[in-house]
Structure 1
Amino acid sequence: MSIQTDRLDELGQELGEAIAATPEYEAFEEAKAAVENDEEIQAEIRKFQRLREEFMMSRQTGEATQEALQKVQSAQQDLHSKPVMAEYLEAQADLQERLEAVNEAISEPLAVDFGGEAGGCCQD
């Protein structure tokens, strides 16, 4: 490896450590742990996932109904309305916003948005 590549790897490591030290990341980790350690929320997540999987299977077979979709949406709303889950979703959104700002800062001098969607080269 070249000295430049080694330094780039070091900077990447430093960036990762700096991101991990942000209030947004710390809040996300705390909210994630709260969700993972809450048995009631875990049961709600499993219920929602089961309903969603059932709906997806029925959709693939052409048997999906509007009622089934509403049931999935209702379960998702119920899940997201739980305070611990709402805090997690908010922390996740805040972290995503912070990471988008970091991506913009990295991409700006390169005139390339590496965090954006991948596409073909040199399209106008």
Structure 2
Amino acid sequence: MSVDTTTETAEQSDIERLATELGEAIVESPVYQRFEETKAAVEADEEAQERIKEFEQLRQEFMLARQTGEATQDDVAEVQKAQQELHSLPVMAEYLDAQDELTARLEDLNRAVSEPLAVDFGQQAGGCCQDE
């Protein structure tokens, strides 16, 4: 049984074109635009950037302490407090809300793409013969 490579190539081109169009539509969507705007606002906000640096440093110190078995509950509480303070900044809260909204929309799109394939495209398309 031979495969018509011209037909196969045309079908693949159509699929790639549709995938590109989907990506472009996502980028142009209000939910994605809001995400990009709030991300840019966080990146431009000096206080947010300073708190992000502080949080990341605390988190790294905690991870190192945890690896060496020296992490304490106080360390956990300190990291959690720093994260809460960071997330309480209005610019950061807006960004996290936009991120959650975008994630939910992308999960909806993943389900829509995956449904006719009978596979969770986003999670299992790269795997083979996985037990469910």
Q: TM-score, normalised by structure 2?
A: 0.89
Q: Structure 1's 19 and 68: CA in aligned 2 closer, same or farther, altered over 3 A? A: same
1:22 Cα offset (Å): 1.1
Q: In the comparison of the two structures, how many residue pairs are matched?
A: 124
1:83 aligns with 2:83: no
Q: Moved runs in structure 1, 4+ residues, more than 4 A? A: 117-120
Cα separation, 1, equivalents of 2:127 and 2:9? 29
State the superposition RMSD in angstroms.
1.4
With 114-123 and 4-13 compared, the bigger mean Cα shift is at: 114-123
1:64 is aligned to 71
1:123 is aligned to 131
Cα separation, 2, equivalents of 1:59 and 1:123? 33
Cα separation, 1, equivalents of 2:9 and 2:128? 29
Structure 2 counterpart of 1:56, one-letter code: M
Residues 88-113 of structure 1 show CA distances to partners (whole Å, capped at 9, x for unaligned) of 00000000011011111101111111
Structure 1 counterpart of 2:119, one-letter code: V
Larger radius of gyration: 2
Residues 73-95 of structure 1 show CA distances to partners (whole Å, capped at 9, x for unaligned) of 00000000000000000000000
Q: Which runs of 5+ in 2 are unaligned?
A: 1-7
Cα separation, 1, equivalents of 2:96 and 2:123? 22
User: Could you say what secondary structure the match of 1:64 adopts?
Assistant: coil
Equivalent of 2:27, from 15, 20, 24? 20
Q: Which runs of 5+ in 1 are unaligned?
A: none
1:3 is aligned to 10
Q: TM-score, normalised by structure 1?
A: 0.94
Cα separation, 1, equivalents of 2:71 and 2:127? 33
